[in-house]
Amino acid sequence: MIVFNVNDMTCGHCVGAVTKAVKSVAPSATVSVDLGTKRVQIDGRDSDAPAFKAAIADAGYTPVEAAPAVDPVAARGGCCGSCH
C-alpha cells in the first residue's frame, strides 16, 4: 500500500481529480481518499510510488509520501490483546 498526504485537497472535486490521476497510472488500483485527513491510500498490483506522485502533482496537487496507518488490532497481535 502506498499512502500520500495531499494537504491541498479541499473538496470533492479535488478527490475526483486525485483519484483520476492515480487511475491514469494504474487503472486497476484501489484508491481510497479521506478528505478529512487529506490522505490518499493506493493499493494495487502495479504500485509505483514515483509514478503516482508525479501523476498527482501533474493534476495540480502536492503529494507527500506518508507511512500507512497501523491497524491497532493487528499491532496488538489479536482482538483483545490477550492472544499471542
Domains annotated on the chain, with CATH:
2-76 (3.30.70.100)
CA distance 47 to 83: 33
Q: What is the pLDDT of residues 22-72, one digit of tens each?
A: 999 999 999 999 999 999 999 987 778 999 999 999 999 999 999 877 655
> What cell was used for 7?
494537504
Rg (CA), the chain: 15
**pLDDT top residue among 43 and 74:** 43
Beta-strand relationship, 63-66 and 39-43:
unpaired
User: Has residue 7 got a pLDDT over 80?
Assistant: yes
The answer to whether 22 and 55 have CB atoms below 8 angstroms apart is yes
For 54, other C-beta atoms within 10 Å of its C-beta total: 14
